[in-house]
Chains A and B, each alone.
Chain A
Amino acid sequence: MQIQPILAALRRHKAGTLLIALQIALTLAIVCNALFIIHQRLSHLSEPSGVDEANLFVIENFWGVQYSTQEASSEIKADLAALRQLPAVEDAAPSNSYPLRGGGWDNFISLTPEQIKPTTDASVYISDESLIHTLGVKLIAGRDFTPDEVRDMGTRENIHPPVVIVSKAMADKLFPDGNALGKPLYSMSAEPTVIIGIVERLQREEVNTWSAPFVNQSLIWPMRQAIPIGLYYIVRAKPGQLAAAMQEAPKALYGRNRMRIIDSHDGLLSFAQVRQRAYNRDRGMAVLLGIICVVLLAITGAGIVGLTSFWVGQRRKQIGVRRALGATHRDILHYFLTENLLISLGGIAVGVLLTFGLNLWLVTRFELRVMPLAYVLSGVVILLLLGQGAVFAPALRASRVSPVEATRPV
């Protein structure tokens, strides 16, 4: 190896060497962090929601009349009955929201009424005894609500439901020893709410980075959202009849009572569309960051090709002299590959520090997670391969310089 003379020669070309090393360092820092963010974003996309997504759809129903709580409750019951009568429909439930909606009702949960700092946070679904069956979630402990436990929730109602069904993630968070059933929790009231059932998985409404650590923490309160604005109907089609059910359902609702608005664009969504919309930003961000990474790597590669080509052209005579003094094609090829390796390693050493620095800044500024070492190692391997790949063509050209160049005038 000729590391020492190569380093000595590089010291005489500081500007080009430092620029390319700096470019490699910045590329490493940006690519590693971008890959980490992409992976985080993409890992959400495949997160199971816990519901029967293949057969579910959602209707956003706005009332066209200012109903009282009692009137709204009656309308909801009548709508549900109409939906359940449709041949393609398995079941239907009223709700204030649904998983992956992108936002909704979110409550702090405590284990004691006097607790100042809450234990955790949960997505709140407000529905009746039909929600669990409609969503297709699995009740793994306890029982479902009974019809008489379900109350009507008007605009100014005081909310302190005596019973609640929680997701397993929620139960485990509140009671890590595993005996959550029958235990009380406190939310929005000093009155206890007793856990009567636990479902296996029920994803939250939000899909943002902030909620990622408690993505499956949710609870269901036995209440019917009988408010003047409106509500969501979650409908489960019979297997293979989703399209038919989605076609029939709005007609059935309008047929029963025309005083409502179901938006033609957003009012009727299959769960596949819900998932698509929920992760659109994540997907877009991943694609954008991916493009940035590719462009950045391409620019760095092109920079290496450009600089090496320039150096090969500049040192043509010198290469000829080396060949005249006994260097083989392979010696010249190795010279340029080693030279690039040394520059790359210098850039990578700085780049690793920059990578962790940038990650630390993202962690403190945007609550990103700490990057595992594997990402840095992957970035290092990518940059080294890129450098060696980029330098190969000009190095090969250099190796083909004839030794007779040594005798030619500059």
Chain B
Amino acid sequence: MLKMTHLSKVYRTEVVETYALRDFNIDVKEGEFVAVTGPSGSGKTTFLTIAGLLETFTGGEYHLDGVEVSHLDDNARSRIRNEKIGFIFQAFNLIPDLNVFDNVEVPLRYRGMKAPERKQRIMDALERVGLASRAKHYPAELSGGQQQRVAIARALAGSPRLLLADEPTGNLDTQMARGVLELLEEIHREGATIVMVTHDPELAARAQRNVHIIDGQVVDLAEDPRFHTAYAAAAGQVRG
């Protein structure tokens, strides 16, 4: 479903080159629920933005659902994002000027879907996340957990092949986070491929597989000394 081989992402300025991802390799099979973890600045979000075709990469290969995406133009990338990928952001990223129904409708409109089908899909998605009764509410009228459920409904409404979640419970309290996680697990059980970036070990433990990123590379935790250094630093911060 998602395969990156020797992928690199370099940010260049006049004086310095910064590798956000370096010789990055990952292979996510269809139907997997993968948690991507790592310390701050390790490249988790860069990986997610490249995986979601929000950003281009500098080198290597990326196959998404069997398609090599490095040569696609912006329109083709937009179409793939719209048809194959569902995004769940940490900050929900709902459009505050639109009500719940209209928010869920946004990607469907860009797909050129007819109104009756859009309506059916929106109501199905809202039913699924338990918010059908809030269709006419605006995001500001909902709790954080409800807003994230709307964002999940928006991601699900287009029946994507891949769900990309960036710290989906990062802005939620424990109870709301549990609810959202249970929803993601339910979606996964129904066959969806989910890649979730998180720094929460408890959340990561609920995934089928964990992938760890340190300094822009996927590492084996048991063998890589950088993990131990990073872990020690993180532990020190917690203690401090």
- Which residues of A pack against B, CB within 8 Å? 2, 4-5, 8-9, 12-13, 317-318, 321-331, 402-404, 406-407, 409-410
Contacts and interface: CB of A to CB of B under 8 A. Distances in A.
Contacts of A402: 54-55
Contacts of A409: 91
Given A406-B93, A407-B166, A328 B54 contact: no
A318 B49 CA distance: 16
Nearest to B99: A8
Contact of B110 (A9, A318, A331): A331
B85 to A, nearest CB: 9
A322 to B, nearest CB: 6
Nearest to A9: B97
Nearest to B106: A325
B74 A329 contact: yes
A324 B87 contact: yes
Given A8-B102, A329-B74, A318 B95 contact: yes
A329 B79 CA distance: 12
B70 interface: no
Nearest to B52: A324
Given A325-B87, A406-B89, A8 B98 contact: yes
Contacts of B81: 324-326, 403
B78 A407 contact: no
Contacts of A323: 54, 78
B74 A328 contact: yes
Contacts of A4: 102
Contacts of A330: 75
B83 interface: yes
Nearest to B48: A407
Nearest to A410: B91
Interface of B: 45, 48-49, 52-55, 74-75, 78-79, 81-83, 87, 89, 91, 93, 95-99, 102, 105-107, 109-111, 154, 166
A406 B151 CA distance: 13
Nearest to A319: B95
Given A8-B102, A407-B49, A13 B97 contact: yes
Contacts of B154: 325
Nearest to B84: A326
B20 to A, nearest CB: 12
B89 A407 contact: yes
Contacts of B79: 326, 328
Nearest to A11: B97
B89 A325 contact: no
A13 B95 CA distance: 13
Contacts of A324: 52, 54, 81, 87, 93
B106 A322 contact: yes
B10 to A, nearest CB: 15
Contact of A407 (B45, B99, B102, B107): B45
A404 B93 CA distance: 12
A407 B55 CA distance: 11
A409 B167 CA distance: 13
Contacts of B107: 325-326
A326 B52 CA distance: 11
Contact of B49 (A12, A404, A410): A404
